[in-house]
Amino acid sequence: MDLTSKQSKIFNFLKDFILEKDYPPSIRDIQNHCDISSTSVVDYNLKKLEEKGLIRRDKEISRGIELLGTNNMRSHTVRIPLLGKIAAGKPIVLPEEGVTDNFSNSIELSREQVGTKSDLFALQIKGNSMIDALIQDGDIIILEKTNQFDNGDMVAVWIKSDNATTFKRIYKLDNKIKLEPMNKRMKAFFVKPNDFNVQGRLVTSIRNW
Amino acid sequence: MDLTSKQSKIFNFLKDFILEKDYPPSIRDIQNHCDISSTSVVDYNLKKLEEKGLIRRDKEISRGIELLGTNNMRSHTVRIPLLGKIAAGKPIVLPEEGVTDNFSNSIELSREQVGTKSDLFALQIKGNSMIDALIQDGDIIILEKTNQFDNGDMVAVWIKSDNATTFKRIYKLDNKIKLEPMNKRMKAFFVKPNDFNVQGRLVTSIRNW
DNA sequence: AAAAAAACAACACATATGTTCTAATACATA
DNA sequence: TATGTATTAGAACATATGTGTTGTTTTTTT
């Protein structure tokens, strides 16, 4: 269902107004700026916009209009905890359960960039131990907290017998797990299927030049 | 200058309310939810919050409150035109002057990620012609439109005599400019100082695994 | 062309909401 | 203690603003 010219005019005004003022316009604001003869016409068309799913209105509340969909600038970003630097071989400190709030250091990414994934955390790479994965010193990597993995995934994996977490490329073999550093100079090693736990999987990497 | 407990209670309520409803609360909304005895007390403390620079108020406008600073979720993201794919050797098509609006394809990044830079555009890398810069097929690179450069910068540069733009690492030598591909297999070449024009500089690169 | 539906117009009304005034109380300072 | 300042209370007021009613015009359908 398409918008009439008056409706798209109103809708655009809503976006502009909210962008500028950070609060929605009143019906009379809309009336004046869109050259509409009567408040009832504005009300009428706002009802239409609501029927068409573009806005939501709260009854009897002044300026009680909310933009829906991608026009709503709410939640366009996600704040992700930056847990620290990760160096070759050094163990990673992973976040507590469910504690994705209240972190001292964090980065902000657009939701578009991370998709619908939740439970994300970030690490900064120190050194060039991941150079084969085209990740270098200073890069930021974003991980998704999960214990699933596919062959070849780059994961943060906890080795029980070592009592430590490292970052490796993982492969499932017949009766063991191969963990391969992302640097040719270091050798791969193997763990027993019950001696490890995947804690997170690489999702995105970012470099500021 | 610090906030009194009442003021931070109000301020937190403002953030929560706006996050939930997408429009600011009325003074009586604040009064009720913060257990305040009188509207005048709310008004009084809102004035204080405004003096302390945390909010902005518009006189005589219902719900005319705007959060300032990082609490204001406005403009936490920037939309950047994605101009297309760039392959080795292939010329790049740069945006028209000032046309950073109305583009068919775009990506959204958090402002935190791109800083205060403006006039940004993005390209997607096709192939592995930039592998030495740790940039591979599918990566997204973000460029800043500028004609300044430092030695070693990776820039989009227009070669007049070729009538084409390519992406190279640039070095200023005594009487010529060295343009170095980011792939060892391809050789560098040189241009005269008046035969080129830097059009943009690499700012950020992003990879989704 | 006639009938029905959609959209617009003008206006009045109720109330949602910011403002203001006065007084009381608490708090700090000299 | 005295005195000034900051904060709180209660209430009344003015207006900003959503809603409803009735009628007209325009558009669509039959």
Kindly report, residue by residue over A56-106, the tens digit of the pLDDT: 999 999 999 999 987 887 668 888 988 888 876 677 766 554 444 445 688
Count of the separate structural domains present in chain B:
2
Domain boundary residue among A41, A71, A101?
Answer: A71
B117 and B185, same domain (yes or no): yes
Helices (H), chain A: 5-21, 27-33, 39-51, 111-114
Rounded average pLDDT over A103-132: 86
**Per annotation, catalytic residue among B168, B172, B184, B205:** B168
Domain boundary residue among A71, A96, A122?
Answer: A71
B46 and B93, same domain (yes or no): no
B95 and B175, same domain (yes or no): yes
Among all protein residues, pick the one whose CA is nearest to the C1' atom of D18: A60
A105 and A61, same domain (yes or no): no
Distance from residue A38's CA to nucleotide C11's C1', rounded to whole Å: 10
Nearest to B202 by CA among B180, B169, B171, B172: B169
Among all protein residues, pick the one whose CA is nearest to the C1' atom of C15: A60
B133 and B200, same domain (yes or no): yes
A97 and A159, same domain (yes or no): yes
Question: Catalytic annotation on B129?
Answer: yes
Judged by phi (left if over 0) then psi (alpha if -120 to 50, else beta), residue A145 lies in beta
Tokens of A178: 């191969």
B66 and B81, same domain (yes or no): no
A33 and A131, same domain (yes or no): no
Mark B175-200 as b/e (b = at least 16 C-beta within 10 Å).
eebebbbbeeeeeeeebeeeebebbb
**B contacts of A112 (beta carbons < 8 Å):** 107-108
Domain boundary residue among A54, A71, A88?
Answer: A71
**A contacts of B110 (beta carbons < 8 Å):** 77, 108-110, 113
Kindly report, residue by residue over A17-60, the tens digit of the pLDDT: 998 999 999 999 999 999 999 999 999 999 999 999 999 999 99
pLDDT interval class at B60 (50, 70, 90): very high
Chain A contact for B125 (CB, 8 A cutoff):
no
Partner-chain contact B72 A22, CB within 8 Å: yes
Please, what is the average pLDDT of chain B?
88
- The CATH number for B58's domain is 1.10.10.10
Q: Name which of A22, A74, A112 is nearest B107 (Cβ-Cβ).
A: A112
| Structural domain range at position A20 | 5-71
With CA of A24 and C1' of each nucleotide, the nearest comes out as D17
B33 and B111, same domain (yes or no): no
pLDDT score of A1: 67
Among all protein residues, pick the one whose CA is nearest to the C1' atom of D15: B60
**Per annotation, catalytic residue among A75, A90, A117, A168:** A168
B163 and B137, same domain (yes or no): yes
Partner-chain contact B76 A108, CB within 8 Å: yes
pLDDT score of A101: 44
B31 and B94, same domain (yes or no): no
Nearest to B158 by CA among B92, B95, B97, B205: B92
Indicate if the pLDDT at residue A206 is higher than 90: yes
pLDDT interval class at A162 (50, 70, 90): confident
- The CATH number for A174's domain is 2.10.109.10
B154 and B197, same domain (yes or no): yes
